[in-house]
């Protein structure tokens, strides 16, 4: 019934919203029938629930394009570890969700295939790059979806659509089968309506995976343990650089400040802290992420798999035409930025400097976490913007990641939770905790909810 209801809702709403790229109806209904026959496992609340999966996460037998013409007809022969784990938990994948091409963007307008709209206001973007994943949950098409977050791509769309979205600690969730963008930054994370649901889904997809050499080999705790302990006596750090009254939408800052008042009433201590190097986050991120992307995307050469240009006359022609025709403008921009930053003669001035800035950013987090249990800040500087509003202004689009990228560079976990409205659109607040302390992050979020 749940899977059928999900497809009915998709049918009713997706013409306007545009969240899905592909539906796997036959497979999903078959899986649902099998679940019915076996009976729902009472100890497993996820069993039988429909889920949507971002289209850069591999799904065996179901087209996975990363919203790129390069992979338009690519059907994976294996599941990503996260996909496999959801299936093991009994969840049923109903289809694949639209995104910015290769996860590069903050509005889902860079998809090669379609536009996704914000269900709260169809003239606005749902955020990105996991905009389809956010819109699908916000429109009630699925209760849960997976996205990926390299520089904010789960948290920003969660903020823009009024959802809970999590970027786990780097290494918490296996990247095996996630189409690589910035490998030292990428993490898969869940979108849900509630904090507890989110913790349950993260429980299901976390854990060591020998197929990802950067996956964490320590314990995976139950992220719902202690979730209801409240915030009494906790120290909440407020990084002053993340509240820029002159530059950011005032309604966003006001909503987060109101939330901080509530935390104070609940018995938490609010402490102003400083993350002085976060201001270098955007330049450092765009150099590091683009450098890694330029390397990761070398595999799309027209030879092994994916798109190949027709009418080619030489090997070089295959490379040049395939890549010229297969990649969209934003992806090309990142490849050029990345290869430039890594090239001999410019490496020291760009990539190396960015890597040094990254260390300083991470050290700032390590320092403040000696004093506070979590950090609270706005997720984004504005609420969802108009479709077309930033697409021709690359710098403005990049700058909208200013509050999310430091977290990825440091590797710490962060959760975005709705905390109010500004301009009639939802506002997101992020709760950041120490490496591998997602329990604290969920506990603080749950107290607010
Ligand atoms: N908006 C950022 C970018 O364009 C973040 C993307 C992401 O997290 N995948 O790179």
pLDDT tens, residue by residue, 196-247: 999 999 999 999 999 999 999 999 999 999 999 999 999 999 999 999 999 9
Peptide bond into 129 cis (omega under 30): yes
pLDDT tens digits along 244-274? 999 999 999 999 999 999 999 999 999 999 9
Q: Which two tokens stand for residue 232?
A: 């009494």
Query: Residue 42 — very low, low, confident or very high, per pLDDT cuts 50/70/90?
Result: confident
Locate the ligand 1 atom nearest the alpha carbon of residue 154 and give its number. 8
Which pLDDT value is given to residue 40?
Answer: 81
ipTM over 0.95: yes
Q: Tell me, yes or no, if 278 is annotated catalytic.
A: no
Strand 50-54: give its sheet, edge to edge.
20-23, 92-97, 50-54, 144-149, 187-192, 164-167, 414-422, 425-432, 374-378, 235-239, 269-273
Percentage of the chain exceeding pLDDT 70? 100
CA 256 to centroid of ligand 1, rounded, Å: 23
CA of 97 to the centre of ligand 1 (A): 16
Q: Are 110 and 100 in contact (CB under 8 A)?
A: yes
Q: Which two tokens stand for residue 141?
A: 């098409």
Distance (Å) from CA 370 to ligand 1 centroid: 29
Query: Of the listed 93, 129, 290, 416, which one is catalytic?
Result: 129
The dihedral sign for the CA sequence 317, 322, 328, 334: negative
CA distances (Å), origin 191, targets 9, 12, 328, 338, 356: 18, 21, 27, 30, 32
Catalytic residue selected from 107, 153, 174, 278: 153
Please choose from 56, 104, 125 the residue to mutate so as to test ligand 1's pocket, defined by most ligand atoms within 8 A of CB. Answer: 104
- Tens of pLDDT, residue by residue over 282-306, are 999 999 999 999 999 999 999 988 9
CA distances in angstroms from 96 to 35, 56, 110, 176, 284, listed in the order given: 21, 9, 16, 17, 31
Q: Which atom of ligand 1 is nearest to the CA of 105?
A: 4
294 is catalytic: no
Q: Please tell me the total number of residues recorded for the chain in this structure.
A: 449
Instruction: Specify whether the CB–CB gap between 128 and 109 falls below 8 A.
Output: yes
Rounded distance from Cα 340 to ligand 1 centre (Å): 19
Secondary structure of 67-91 in HEC code, one letter for each residue? CCHHHCCCCCCCCCHHHHHHHHCCC
CA-nearest residue, atom 4 of ligand 1: 105
Write out residues with Cβ below 6 Å of ligand 1. 103-106, 129, 149-153, 181, 289, 401
295 included as an active-site residue: no
| 404 CA from centroid of ligand 1 (Å) | 9
- For residue 232, what are the β-bridge partners? none
Q: Ligand 1 pocket test: which of 109, 151, 175, 396 has the largest number of ligand atoms within 8 Å of its C-beta? A: 151
């Amino acid at each position: 019934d749940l899977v059928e209801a999900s497809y009915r809702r998709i049918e009713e709403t997706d013409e306007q919203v545009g969240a899905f790229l592909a539906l796997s109806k036959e497979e999903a209904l078959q899986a649902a029938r099998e679940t019915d026959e076996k009976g729902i496992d009472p100890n497993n609340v996820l069993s039988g629930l429909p889920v949507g999966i971002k289209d850069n996460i591999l799904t065996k037998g179901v087209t996975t394009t990363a919203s790129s013409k390069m992979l338009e007809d690519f059907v994976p022969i294996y599941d990503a570890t996260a996909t496999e784990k959801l299936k093991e938990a009994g969840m049923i994948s109903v289809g694949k969700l639209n995104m910015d091409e290769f996860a590069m963007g903050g509005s889902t307008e860079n998809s090669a295939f379609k536009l996704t709209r914000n269900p709260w206001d169809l003239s606005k973007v749902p955020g990105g790059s996991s905009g389809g994943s956010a819109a699908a949950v916000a429109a009630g098409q699925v209760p849960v979806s997976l996205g990926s977050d390299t520089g904010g791509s789960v948290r920003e769309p969660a903020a823009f659509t009024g959802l809970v979205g999590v970027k786990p600690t780097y290494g918490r969730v296996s990247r095996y089968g996630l189409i690589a963008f910035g490998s030292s930054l990428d993490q898969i994370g869940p979108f849900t309506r509630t904090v507890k649901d989110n913790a349950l889904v993260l429980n299901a997809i976390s854990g060591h995976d020998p197929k990802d050499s950067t996956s964490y080999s320590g314990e995976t705790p139950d992220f719902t343990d202690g979730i209801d302990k409240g915030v009494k006596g906790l120290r909440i750090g407020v990084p002053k650089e993340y509240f820029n009254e002159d530059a950011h939408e005032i309604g966003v800052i006001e909503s987060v400040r109101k939330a901080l008042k509530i935390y104070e009433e609940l018995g938490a201590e609010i402490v102003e802290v400083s993350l002085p190097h976060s201001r270098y986050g955007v330049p450092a991120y765009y150099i590091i992420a683009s450098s890694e992307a330029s390397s990761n995307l070398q595999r799309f050469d027209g030879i092994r798999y994916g798109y190949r240009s027709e009418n080619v006359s030489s090997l070089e022609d295959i490379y040049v035409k395939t890549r010229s025709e297969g990649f969209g403008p934003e992806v090309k921009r990142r490849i050029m930025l990345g290869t430039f930053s890594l090239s001999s003669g410019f490496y020291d001035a760009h990539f190396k400097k960015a890597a040094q800035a990254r260390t300083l950013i991470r050290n700032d987090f390590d320092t403040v976490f000696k004093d506070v249990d979590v950090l609270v800040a706005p997720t984004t500087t504005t609420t969802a913007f108009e479709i077309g509003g930033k697409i021709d202004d690359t710098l403005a689009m990049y700058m909208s990641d200013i509050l999310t990228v430091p977290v990825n560079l440091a590797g710490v976990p962060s959760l975005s939770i709705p905390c109010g409205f500004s301009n009639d659109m939802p506002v997101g607040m992020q709760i950041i905790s120490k490496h591998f302390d997602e329990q604290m992050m969920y506990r603080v979020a749950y107290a607010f909810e």
